[in-house]
C-alpha cells in the first residue's frame, strides 16, 4: 500500500499489531459495566428525555460518519496515483455543492425541532414537586427541605415517582449540581438563583458530583441522591425532624464537651447549643453513609483521619485542624456516632 | 536617511546592518526570519505543553493517582490549556502567516515590518512571563477559562500572571492582525484579485479580522480581573454587586471566535496541500472561501453554548442551540469540498498529504461531536465531561495540529532548502495518528460514563479505569511520534540532505516559483498574476481531455536569479521593536510585584517607540 510506503515490512506489521490490540481492548471494554455515573442508562423521566434526543442525534451522526469517512477512504484508494492516471481538471460542481449544503441544513433543522421543544418542556415546573434548596459551597452541598424544616448535607433523600424541584444557590464560587442517571447539570452561581428538576423511577443510591471547576478539591466534591419508596421517605423525613439526643454518656459525653467548644463555630446540631452555619448541619450525622462531600465512607477510622487533619485528606478543605489529641478525637468520633 | 553631518559619528538611531549571526535575528524585520522565530518558539512551548499533558495523563492513568498533588494538577491542566491555545496553535498559525502570506501574494515583506517584529517580541516575552510564574509562587490554577469569582479569589499569584500575561499576548495578536489585514488588502501583486488569492491567504484575512474584534473583548475581561485581583475592585465580587456571568459572557464572546482563530489557519493549509498532491484545483474554491468567511461571521453568534448550564433560561438556550447547529453547515461545506478535491485526482501520499487527509478524517469526528453539544438537554449531561475534552481535541489536535504538521512537511523545503525525510515522516504520521486516537477516542466513552473534566483524582469502581490507562498509553505514543519529528528535523538537516529545488512538489502558488529558501527580497521582479493558482498556470494548461498538459518551456518562467539586488529597496533591521516589547515585559512584572516600577516599563516602551519614530528609514 502506498500510504505506508517508506515503512519497512517489519514496521508495518508492528503498526498493525498495535492497532489490532487497541481494537481488541476496545471490544472487551465495551462489554463491561458502564459505572454509577453513566448517563446513557438513565433512571428517571428527565434524564430519559435528554437521552432520547441523544439517541436520535447519535444515530444520525453515525450514519453521516460512515458515509463521509467511507467516501473519503474510497477516494483515497480509488484515486491514488498509478501509471496512466491523469488528474481530471475541474473546479467544482454547482449541483453537487448545492445539494451537499441543503442536505445538512435539512437534517439540522430536523434536529432543532425536538431540541427546542424539549428545552421548553423541561423548563416548566411540574405540579406537586418536592422543593429542595441546594446551596453549593467549597467543597460540599447543603440541602434544605423548604417545606419541612429539615437541613442535611451531601446526601439528598427523595421519594420515587414525585418530581423534585431544586433551587440552586452559590455562596463562594460557581459549582454545578449533577446526578447523571437522574438529571443533567445546572450551575449554582453566587448572586443568582437557578432551578432544575428531576424525578427518579426506582429506589436506590445515585451518584453525582460537582461539575464546574471550583478549586483544589473540585474532584472531591461529590454527592449522592438516595431514592426511597414514598412511605420510607416520609419516615426518613420524620426522623430528620427529631432533635438530636440531648444526653450522652461516657466517651461520647467528653466528645460532646469538646464539640461544644470548638466545632460549634461552624456546625449546628438541632436540640443543642451548636448553631454554626458555615459547615454542614450534623444533627443526624450518624445516619449518613458518607461525609466530607460524599468523599469518605462514614466510619470511625475515616472520621479520625479527617478530624486529625482535614486539609491533609481533602486538599483545600476549609475545616481547620484544631490539633486535638488522639484521645480527644476518639471522644468526638464517639459523640458523632450517637447522632442517629 | 541620516543627515550627512551625523554620518561620521553614527547616530544612536542608526539602523543595524547585520545580515548574519544572532544579532541579525534580534534586529530582523524580515517576515521570513520572524516567521521562523515564531515557529521555533511555538514549538518549544509545544514541548512544554506536551510535558504538562504527559504529567496529567500519568496522574490519571489509575484511580487515586498520586503522581501530582491537587495543587500541581490544577496548575498543569491550566497551563496545558493556556500553552496549547495561546503559545502553540495561535503562534504556529502566525508563523505560517508570516512566512507565507507575502510570498503567496507576491510581496517583498509585510506592510509594517517593524510592527511585525514587535508582535513577535511581545509574544515571546508574554510566554516567558507566564511561564516564569512557576518560579514566582505558582502558575495559574483557575483553568484557561478563568471563571470568576474563583479566578479572583485563588490565593497564589498564578491568576495575576494569567490576567496580565494574556493581555501581553493579546497586544501581540492585535498588532499582527492589523499587519496582515493591511498587507493582504494592499500589497497583492498586480492581477491578484481577491478571488485569485490562495485559500490560505483568505483564511489569514478572516482570522486577522476575528483577532481584531475578539482580542479587545478578552482584554476588557482580563483588565477587570486584573483590577479585581490587584486593586480590589468589585467587577466579579458578588457581595458587592458584581456579576460572575459578566466574565463568562466576555470570555466566551472572545472564546468562541478564538476556536475559529485556531482552526481556520489549518483549514487554509489543508486547502493548499490537498490540491497540490491531488494534481487538481481546489473543488469549489468560492464555496470554501465563503464558508470560511461565514464561519467567521457566525462564530460571533454561538458563544452562549458554552453556558447552557449557567441558567440563561430556555429562550436564550434555544436561540444559541439553533445558531450552534447551523454553524455546522459551512463547516460541512469545507469537508465536502476537500473530498471533492480528491475526486478524480491522482493522489500522491507524501507525509504532508497524509497529515492533511488525517485532518479531514479527524475533523469529521470533531465536527459531528460538536453538533451534539447543541442538543441542550443532553449537553447538560455531557458538558464539562471528558466527552467535551474528546471533542475539542479532535478539532484542535486532530484538526489544527494535524494541519500544522502537514504545513511543516509541505513548506519545509521552501523554508530551509531541503526536504524532511519521507521515511521518518511516515513513522511520524502513523504513530501520531495512532497515539492521537488512542488518547482521545476513549475520552468520548469515559465522558459518556460520567467522568468530569478538571478532576485531579477519581475513585475506583466508576468503570473509567481501562479507558484512562489507554489514554495515558496513547499520550506517550504521541510523545514518541513527536520525537520522530524532532529526529527528522535533525537527520534531514545533517545527512541525506535532499536539496529541494524551487518547486519540489510541482505546486501551484507563487512561493514555489522563487528559490528555496527565498532571498531576502523574495521576488527579484514582482510577478504579474493572471490566474488563481498562477504558478501552476505558468507550467500547465488544461488540454482537450480536461487533463493538464505542460506549457512549452513551462516552469522556466522563474525569477531571474541574476537580478541586481542592490536596486531592491528592503526595510532595514531595527532593535527598537525589541526595546519597546521589553518595556512591556517590565511593566507586566511591575504591575504584579512593584507598582511604581510601572513607570520604568512605560519609559522603556516609550523610548523604544521614540527610537522607532526617529531612526532613519534605511541603513545607509
Nearest Cα to Cα of residue B290 among B396, B371, B199: B199
Is the pLDDT at B10 greater than 70, yes or no? no
Give B15's pLDDT tier (boundaries 50, 70, 90): confident
Model confidence over A111-130: pLDDT tens digits?
999 999 999 999 999 999 99
Chain B residues within an 8 Å CB radius of A190:
149, 238, 244
Is the pLDDT at B3 greater than 50, yes or no? no
> Higher-confidence residue: B415 or A20?
B415
- Look up residue B499 and give its DSSP letter: B
Cell of A27: 471490544
Chain A residues within an 8 Å CB radius of B380:
50, 183-186
Residue A218 has its nearest CB partner, among B314, B325, B455, at B455
Residue A100 has its nearest CB partner, among B309, B336, B376, at B336
Model confidence over A271-310: pLDDT tens digits?
899 999 999 999 999 999 999 999 999 999 999 999 999 9
Confidence (pLDDT) at A58: 95
Is the pLDDT at B152 greater than 60, yes or no? yes
Any residues with CB less than 8 A from the CB of B115 and at least 6 apart, and which? Answer: B175, B178, B179, B577
Q: Are B306 and B453 in contact (CB under 8 A)?
A: no
Confidence (pLDDT) at A43: 94
The residue with cell 481546489 is B282
Is the pLDDT at B6 greater than 50, yes or no? no
pTM assigned to the model: 0.94
Is the pLDDT at B14 greater than 90, yes or no? no
Nearest Cα to Cα of residue B189 among B513, B507, B468: B513
How many Å separate Cα A206 from the centre of its chain?
Answer: 9
* A244 vs A338: CA distance, rounded Å: 9
Edge-to-edge strand list for the sheet holding A204-209: A155-159, A222-228, A204-209
Confidence (pLDDT) at B499: 77
- Interchain CB distance below 8 Å, B377 and A104: no
Strand-pair partners of A291 = A296
Cell of A229: 419508596
Q: Are A273 and A246 in contact (CB under 8 A)?
A: no
Q: Are A290 and A154 in contact (CB under 8 A)?
A: yes
- Burial of A225 from C-beta contacts in 10 A (0-12 / 13-18 / 19+): buried
**Across A80-89, A132-141, B374-383, B444-453, least confident range:** A80-89
Q: Mean of the pLDDT values across residues B306-325?
A: 95
Q: How far is A140 from chain B (nearest CA, A)?
A: 15
Cell of A255: 466528645
Confidence (pLDDT) at B2: 41
Model confidence over B83-98: pLDDT tens digits?
999 999 999 999 999 9
* A297 vs A134: CA distance, rounded Å: 22
Q: Are B166 and B131 in contact (CB under 8 A)?
A: no
Helix (H) or strand (E) holding A238: helix A230-241
3-class secondary structure, A56: helix
| Partner A contacted by B354 (CB < 8 A) | yes
Confidence (pLDDT) at A281: 95
* B367 vs B354: CA distance, rounded Å: 20
- Interchain CB distance below 8 Å, A22 and B434: yes
Confidence (pLDDT) at B211: 97
Is the pLDDT at B558 greater than 70, yes or no? no
Chain A residues within an 8 Å CB radius of B548:
86-87, 89
**ipTM confidence:** 0.92
Q: Are B295 and B327 in contact (CB under 8 A)?
A: yes
* B503 vs B514: CA distance, rounded Å: 8
Residue B339 has its nearest CB partner, among A15, A19, A72, at A72
The residue with cell 434526543 is A53
Cell of B449: 460514563
What single string gives the DSSP state of each residue in B161-224?
Answer: HHHHHHHHHHHHHHHHHHHHHHHHHH-PPTT--GGGS-HHHHHHHHHHHHHHHHHHHHHHHHHH
Is the pLDDT at A21 greater than 70, yes or no? no
| Partner A contacted by B78 (CB < 8 A) | no
Chain A residues within an 8 Å CB radius of B506:
none
Q: Are B508 and B536 in contact (CB under 8 A)?
A: yes
SS3 annotation, B34-66: HHHHHHHHHHHHHHHHHHHHHHHHHHHCCCCCC
3-class secondary structure, B395: helix
Is the pLDDT at B562 greater than 60, yes or no? no
Give B550's pLDDT tier (boundaries 50, 70, 90): confident
Any residues with CB less than 8 A from the CB of B303 and at least 6 apart, and which? Answer: B249, B252, B253, B255, B256, B320
* Widest distance between CA atoms in chain B: 83
Confidence (pLDDT) at B459: 96
- Look up residue A218 and give its DSSP letter: G
Q: CA end-to-end span of chain A, whole Å?
A: 71
Q: CA end-to-end span of chain B, whole Å?
A: 7
* B251 vs B220: CA distance, rounded Å: 9
Any residues with CB less than 8 A from the CB of B277 and at least 6 apart, and which? Answer: B347, B348, B349, B350, B352, B353, B356, B505
Confidence (pLDDT) at B571: 86
Determine which of A53, A184, A221, A302 to mutate to test the interface with B (most B C-beta atoms within 10 Å).
A184
Helix (H) or strand (E) holding A226: strand A222-228
Give B553's pLDDT tier (boundaries 50, 70, 90): low
Taking the CB of residue B300, how many other CB atoms lie within 10 A of it? 16
Taking the CB of residue B483, how many other CB atoms lie within 10 A of it? 12
Q: How far is B265 from chain A (nearest CA, A)?
A: 22
Q: How far is B319 from chain A (nearest CA, A)?
A: 9
Cα–Cα distances in angstroms (integers) from residue A339 to residues A153, A255, A256, A283, B180, in the given order: 14, 12, 11, 6, 70
Regarding beta strands A155-159 and A164-170, do their DSSP bridges make them parallel or antiparallel, or are they unpaired?
Answer: unpaired
Cell of B155: 490565593
Confidence (pLDDT) at B407: 98
3-class secondary structure, A182: coil
Give B4's pLDDT tier (boundaries 50, 70, 90): very low
Model confidence over B322-364: pLDDT tens digits?
999 999 999 999 999 999 999 999 999 999 999 999 999 999 9
3-class secondary structure, A86: coil
Model confidence over B413-463: pLDDT tens digits?
999 999 999 999 999 999 999 999 999 999 999 999 999 999 999 999 999
Nearest Cα to Cα of residue B138 among B43, B86, B72: B72
Sign of CA dihedral B295, B301, B305, B306: positive
Q: How far is B253 from chain A (nearest CA, A)?
A: 19
Give B249's pLDDT tier (boundaries 50, 70, 90): very high
Residue A211 has its nearest CB partner, among B284, B423, B452, at B452
Any residues with CB less than 8 A from the CB of A303 and at least 6 apart, and which? Answer: A291, A333, A336
> Higher-confidence residue: A24 or B281?
B281
Residues 166-225 of B with CB under 8 A from A: none
Confidence (pLDDT) at B496: 56
- Look up residue A251 and give its DSSP letter: H
Is the pLDDT at A29 greater than 70, yes or no? no
Q: How far is B462 from chain A (nearest CA, A)?
A: 5
Chain A residues within an 8 Å CB radius of B546:
88-90
Cell of A152: 442535611
In residues, how long is chain A?
Answer: 340
Amino acid at each position: 500500500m502506498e500510504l505506508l510506503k517508506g515503512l519497512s515490512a517489519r514496521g508495518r506489521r508492528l503498526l498493525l499489531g498495535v492497532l489490532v490490540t487497541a481494537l481488541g481492548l476496545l471490544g472487551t471494554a465495551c462489554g463491561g459495566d458502564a459505572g454509577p455515573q453513566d448517563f446513557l442508562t438513565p433512571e428517571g423521566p428527565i434524564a430519559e428525555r435528554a437521552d432520547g434526543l441523544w439517541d436520535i442525534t447519535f444515530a444520525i451522526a453515525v450514519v453521516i460518519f460512515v458515509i463521509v469517512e467511507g467516501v473519503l477512504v474510497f477516494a483515497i484508494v480509488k484515486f491514488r496515483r498509478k501509471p496512466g492516471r491523469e488528474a481530471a481538471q475541474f473546479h467544482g460542481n454547482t449541483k453537487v455543492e448545492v445539494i451537499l449544503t441543503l442536505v445538512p441544513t435539512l437534517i439540522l433543522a430536523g434536529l432543532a425541532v425536538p431540541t427546542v421543544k424539549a428545552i421548553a418542556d423541561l423548563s416548566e415546573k411540574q405540579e406537586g414537586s418536592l422543593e429542595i434548596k441546594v446551596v453549593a459551597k467549597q467543597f460540599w452541598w447543603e440541602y434544605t427541605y423548604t417545606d419541612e424544616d429539615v437541613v442535611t448535607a451531601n446526601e439528598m433523600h427523595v421519594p420515587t415517582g414525585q418530581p423534585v424541584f431544586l433551587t440552586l444557590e452559590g455562596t463562594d464560587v460557581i459549582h454545578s449540581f449533577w446526578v447523571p442517571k437522574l438529571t443533567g447539570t445546572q450551575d449554582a452561581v453566587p448572586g443568582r438563583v437557578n432551578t432544575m428538576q428531576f424525578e427518579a423511577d426506582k429506589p436506590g443510591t445515585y451518584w453525582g458530583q460537582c461539575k464546574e471547576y471550583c478549586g483544589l478539591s473540585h474532584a472531591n466534591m461529590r454527592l449522592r441522591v438516595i431514592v426511597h419508596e414514598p412511605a420510607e421517605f416520609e419516615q426518613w423525613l420524620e426522623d430528620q425532624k427529631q432533635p438530636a439526643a440531648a444526653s450522652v454518656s461516657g466517651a461520647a459525653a467528653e466528645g460532646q464537651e469538646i464539640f461544644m467548644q470548638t466545632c460549634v463555630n461552624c456546625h449546628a446540631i438541632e436540640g443543642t447549643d451548636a448553631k454554626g452555619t458555615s459547615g454542614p448541619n450534623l444533627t443526624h450525622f450518624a445516619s449518613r453513609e458518607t461525609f466530607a462531600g460524599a468523599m469518605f465512607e462514614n466510619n470511625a477510622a475515616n472520621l479520625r483521619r479527617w478530624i486529625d487533619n482535614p486539609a491533609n485528606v481533602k486538599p483545600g478543605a476549609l475545616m481547620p485542624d484544631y490539633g486535638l489529641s488522639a484521645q480527644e478525637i476518639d471522644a468526638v468520633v464517639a459523640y458523632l456516632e450517637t447522632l442517629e | 536617511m541620516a543627515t550627512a553631518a551625523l554620518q561620521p559619528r553614527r547616530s544612536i538611531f542608526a539602523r543595524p546592518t547585520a545580515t548574519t549571526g544572532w544579532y541579525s535575528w534580534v534586529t530582523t524585520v524580515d517576515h521570513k526570519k520572524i516567521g521562523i522565530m515564531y515557529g521555533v518558539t511555538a514549538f518549544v512551548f509545544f514541548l512544554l505543553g506536551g510535558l504538562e499533558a504527559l504529567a496529567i495523563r500519568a496522574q490519571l492513568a489509575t484511580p487515586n493517582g498520586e503522581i501530582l498533588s491537587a495543587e500541581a494538577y490544577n496548575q498543569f491542566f491550566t497551563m496545558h490549556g493556556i500553552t496549547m491555545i495561546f503559545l502553540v496553535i495561535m503562534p504556529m498559525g502566525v508563523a505560517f502567516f508570516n512566512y507565507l502570506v507575502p510570498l503567496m501574494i507576491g510581496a517583498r515583506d509585510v506592510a509594517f515590518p517593524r510592527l511585525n517584529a514587535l508582535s513577535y517580541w511581545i509574544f515571546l516575552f508574554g510566554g516567558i512571563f507566564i511561564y516564569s510564574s512557576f518560579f514566582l509562587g505558582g502558575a495559574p490554577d483557575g483553568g484557561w477559562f478563568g471563571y470568576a469569582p474563583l479566578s479572583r479569589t485563588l490565593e497564589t499569584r498564578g491568576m495575576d500572571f494569567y490576567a496580565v500575561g494574556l493581555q501581553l499576548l493579546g497586544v501581540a495578536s492585535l498588532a499582527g492582525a492589523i499587519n496582515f489585514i493591511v498587507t493582504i488588502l494592499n500589497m497583492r501583486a498586480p492581477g491578484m484579485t481577491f478571488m485569485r488569492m490562495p485559500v490560505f491567504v483568505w483564511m489569514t484575512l478572516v482570522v486577522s479580522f476575528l483577532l481584531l474584534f475578539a482580542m479587545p473583548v478578552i482584554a476588557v475581561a482580563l483588565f477587570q480581573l486584573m483590577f479585581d485581583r490587584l486593586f480590589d475592585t468589585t467587577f466579579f465580587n458578588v457581595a458587592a454587586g458584581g456579576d460572575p456571568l459578566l466574565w463568562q459572557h466576555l470570555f466566551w464572546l472572545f472564546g468562541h471566535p478564538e476556536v475559529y482563530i485556531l482552526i481556520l489557519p489549518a483549514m487554509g493549509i489543508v486547502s493548499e496541500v490537498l490540491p497540490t498532491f491531488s494534481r487538481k484545483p481546489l473543488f469549489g474554491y468560492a464555496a470554501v472561501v465563503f464558508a470560511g468567511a461565514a464561519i467567521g461571521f457566525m462564530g460571533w453568534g454561538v458563544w452562549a453554548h458554552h453556558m447552557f448550564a449557567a441558567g440563561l433560561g430556555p429562550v436564550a438556550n434555544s436561540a444559541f442551540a439553533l445558531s450552534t447547529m447551523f454553524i455546522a453547515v459551512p463547516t460541512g461545506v469545507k469537508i465536502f469540498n476537500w473530498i471533492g478535491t480528491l475526486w478524480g485526482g491522482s493522489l500522491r501520499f507524501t507525509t504532508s498529504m497524509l497529515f492533511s487527509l488525517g485532518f479531514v478524517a479527524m475533523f469529521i469526528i470533531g465536527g459531528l461531536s460538536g453538533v451534539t453539544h447543541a442538543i441542550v438537554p443532553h449537553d447538560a449531561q455531557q458538558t464539562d465531561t471528558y466527552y467535551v475534552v474528546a471533542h475539542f481535541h479532535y478539532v484542535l489536535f486532530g484538526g489544527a495540529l494535524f494541519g500544522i504538521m502537514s504545513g511543516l512537511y509541505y513548506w519545509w523545503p521552501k523554508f530551509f532548502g531541503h526536504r524532511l525525510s519521507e521515511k521518518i515522516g511516515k513513522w511520524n504520521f502513523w504513530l501520531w495518528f495512532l497515539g492521537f486516537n488512542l488518547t482521545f477516542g476513549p475520552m468520548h466513552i469515559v465522558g459518556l460514563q460520567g467522568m468530569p473534566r478538571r478532576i485531579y483524582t477519581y475513585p475506583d469502581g466508576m468503570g473509567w479505569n481501562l479507558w484512562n490507562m489507554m489514554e495515558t498509553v496513547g499520550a506517550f505514543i504521541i510523545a514518541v511520534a513527536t520525537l520522530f519529528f524532532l529526529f527528522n528535523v535533525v537527520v534531514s538537516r545533517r545527512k541525506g540532505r535532499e536539496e529541494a529545488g524551487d518547486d519540489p512538489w510541482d505546486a501551484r502558488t507563487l512561493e514555489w516559483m522563487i528559490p528555496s529558501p527565498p532571498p531576502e527580497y523574495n521576488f527579484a521582479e514582482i510577478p504579474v498574476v493572471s490566474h488563481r493558482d498562477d504558478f501552476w498556470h505558468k507550467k500547465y494548461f488544461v488540454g482537450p481531455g480536461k487533463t493538464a498538459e505542460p506549457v512549452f518551456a513551462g516552469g522556466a518562467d522563474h525569477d531571474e536569479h541574476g537580478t541586481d539586488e542592490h536596486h531592491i529597496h528592503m526595510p532595514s533591521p531595527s532593535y527598537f521593536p525589541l526595546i519597546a516589547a521589553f518595556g512591556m515585559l517590565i511593566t507586566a512584572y511591575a504591575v504584579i510585584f512593584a507598582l511604581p516600577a510601572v513607570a520604568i516599563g512605560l519609559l522603556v516602551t516609550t523610548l523604544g517607540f521614540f527610537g522607532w519614530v526617529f531612526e532613519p528609514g534605511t541603513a545607509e
